Structure 1
């Protein structure tokens, strides 16, 4: 029987058990064991995509955890401690002769053996196989074929982010410039876009949209996530849901795009919204960062407006609990202590439950968060937006 699960499929590993860096810009406490524990007890996330598991030290740690019976490999793919399933993935940078700029992609594999086979192949084409998000020195289609040869899933990451993404600078107007469209399993939207923005692009019409955190810290796990109806909490369950044959994507939960760092076209120097891409009319700086909203409009115009909109799951604008004005660390810790974890607080706790632990104003804002009704100030040029008080 199918069940619903909360999934965040883009979480980095900051450090190995041996103390060596994997994602250099990620927190040192973002370790494999901490991720399992935090996802279960604090965030309430059921399915985690770890996208640095190509690292040889990480693979060795998984082998040790299986030997010690801390986790087990599932028949349907993935590693489980009984309450959280981790999917084995790798974030890779593609920048071949067909790209206009670097593109990050996510590759997921069903088993440890398949991941090890991929790692053995992958380390011949990168400079440092121990680190995250390495540039691979082969073309994008060849990478796709290797992923499919190993029964993997291929997902372009945060596709509208101005840097290191498919539409940011990776292609001029179409994913066909770099990838084989038939070998893409889903599209990850990223923090500065949502379904309404992305679905106007005609070539994305038939891909599932994913919303993930790209977490560089434990607290950011579940910053964006999705609810999935799965036949099983495993790699196979996810693959079936993305193919819409046994399971489905029920709902996306993500930041209002205006909260993202790159929603508006802004001047990096003074933070002003800019109509010009050459210079800022306020301070004269030429450090203008093109916003996601503007870039999507350019792609839509180049491809032509799609004639039909595919019916998609709802996209609910949410923020992490730490964004709620007036909800400080001590109060958040109190909520988590008495109301299980974040997914319960956000989706299930009654207003009466909340009022017993926090002020009525904070309780009201959590209910507004649940409904996607919080008002925000737009972000841009590398600065996050913020929730209005």
Structure 2
């Protein structure tokens, strides 16, 4: 068994020919750019690109396979250099059982299985060439199709206020919309962590994933996990999510929830925190608030006691959040330590001091272990770390 760094939620901003995919993502975020960043700068071993249902992307992968530029692994996944690409599609669900839109991640073992899924989606989706489009089909039917194709079905960023399972998708339980037995894992999102999510009893059976949801090259591996598998393949990933024979998620790495965009409840207009018992903002008078993840989980939670042993969730601040680490400093660090995984997991304080000085080195060491002062985010604004 070996341990691998894995980020399973990375978007594409555009295709190789320049056509848009994820409208809100950088147009520089092509599949080629994602692979280059993951391999040579981030140091990831496995990535999930969740816009692979796009026909042009699939044609490009088919051509690369035909030219032997990449190889398809027997147990699933595309091997490109020393990185395994897992083919995924993020979809939007809203059927008669949903209270609001829900995003979900669907992963397939091979290019041909994703082609089959893409064709199935194209008959139920207005534009299969774009990311995260609504599927006009019952949620459980989507789950069954993913299972029929041998795929993985994972609700995405389940606590964010908009377009998520617990944000507005259901009143209180995932069983209102989904078949629990057809869910393979749960993605937490940037404003929650294990200690928050495990308060919900119905999530006890699922592995927790912490992924970047990257909309630009630099945000890849903003959150990720270390996974123990025999090899970095699709089937080994499936077994790790079920914790079969020693395979498992060993650790989650992610933002402290306070750094996420939706941790705390704030006024929709001026981002002030509400006063208890007040229906309108005490600062601007606006009557609508964006409910924070922390408050939503408190509404849903039963006991505060964890029900199973889970891997540690390590509150690790991404390098570009750290004051003093701009593009030039980051390039200098990569030049010495190779990849961001090397900077975050291997470089000692003394080694960092030689490259960036004591002040920035101290912040990096404190940030990698979550020992920094934070100002909570909310309403779509990220939290911040203090230089003090």
TM-score range, shorter chain: over 0.9
State the secondary structure of the residue aligned to 1:356. Answer: helix
Give 1:172-191 correspondences, 5 Å limit: 172-191=171-190
Q: Could you tell me how far apart the structure 2 residues matched to 1:361 and 1:238 are? A: 39
Structure 1-normalised TM-score? 0.97
Q: Report the counterpart of residue 36 of structure 2 in structure 1.
A: 37
Which residue in the other structure is 2:283 paired with?
282
SS where residue 5 of structure 1 aligns? strand
Distance 1:248 1:277, change over 3 A: farther
Structure 2 CA distance for aligned equivalents of residues 308 and 159 of structure 1: 19
Q: Is the 8 A contact 2:322 2:363 kept in 1?
A: yes
Q: Is it true that 1:91 corresponds to 2:90 in the alignment? A: yes
Shift of 1:279: 2.0
Q: 1:77 matched to which residue of 2? A: 76
CA contact (8 A) 1:159 1:190 kept: yes
The one of 310, 317, 320 equivalent to 2:318 is 320
Name 1:367's counterpart in structure 2.
Answer: 365
Alpha-carbon distance in 1 for matches of 2:383, 2:305: 33
Say what the alpha-carbon RMSD is for the aligned residues: 1.2
2:205 aligns to what SS in structure 1?
coil
For structure 2, list consecutive stretches of 5 or more residues without a partner in the other structure: none
Taking a change above 3 Å as real, the CA distance of residues 370 and 307 of structure 1, as seen in their structure-2 partners, is closer
Alignment of 1:186-205 (within 5 A): 186-205=185-204
The CA deviation at 1:78 is 0.7
Distance across 2 between alignment mates of 1:340 and 1:278: 52
8 Å CA contact 1:191–1:254 kept in 2: the answer is yes
Contact kept? 1:277, 1:288, Cα under 8 Å: no
Distance 1:116 1:320 in 2: 35
Residue 305 of structure 1 and its aligned partner are, at CA, apart by 2.4
Q: TM-score, normalising length from structure 2? A: 0.97
Name the counterpart of 1:50: 49
Matched, 1:3 2:2: yes
Deviation at 1:373, TM superposition (A): 1.2
CA distance in 2, matches of 1:277, 1:82: 57
Give the secondary structure class of the aligned counterpart of 2:356: coil
Q: CA deviation at 1:287?
A: 3.3
Query: In the TM superposition, what is the alpha-carbon distance from 1:286 to its structure 2 partner?
Result: 2.1
Superimposed CA distance per residue, residues 54-76 of structure 1 (whole angstroms, 9 cap, x where no aligned partner): 00011011112223333111111
Give 1:367 deviation, angstroms: 1.2
> 1:349-364 to 2 correspondence within 5 Å?
349-364=347-362
* Alignment partners' CA distance in 2, 1:167 and 1:288: 17
**Contact 2:198 2:306 (C-alpha < 8 Å) held by counterparts:** no
**1:132 counterpart residue number:** 131
1:1-389 equivalence runs, <5 A:
2-246=1-245, 247-275=247-275, 278-300=279-301, 304-305=302-303, 309-389=307-387
1:335-363 deviation line (CA, Å, top 9, x unaligned):
01111010000000111211111011111
Structure 2 SS opposite 1:357:
helix
Encode CA deviations 1:150-187: one digit per residue, 9 max, x unaligned.
01111000000000000000000000000000000100
Cα 1:100–1:91, aligned 2, differ >3 Å: closer, same or farther? same
For residues 232-289 of structure 1, the C-alpha deviation after alignment (integer angstroms, 9 at most, x for no partner) is 1011111010011141100000100001111110012211111468421111012310
**Partners of 1:12 and 1:214 within 8 A in 2:** yes
1:192 and 1:263 in contact (8 A); partners too = yes
Please give the alpha-carbon distance, in whole angstroms, between the structure 1 residues aligned to 2:295 and 2:116. Answer: 41
Q: Is the 8 A contact 2:13 2:30 kept in 1?
A: yes
Q: CA deviation at 1:370?
A: 2.1
Mapped contact 1:278–1:288 kept (Cα < 8 A): no
Deviation at 1:308, TM superposition (A): 5.1
1:306 Cα deviation (Å)? 6.7
d(CA) in 2 for partners of 1:277, 1:240: 49
Displacement after TM superposition at 1:18 (Å): 1.3
| Aligned mates of 1:328, 1:63 — CA distance in 2 | 38
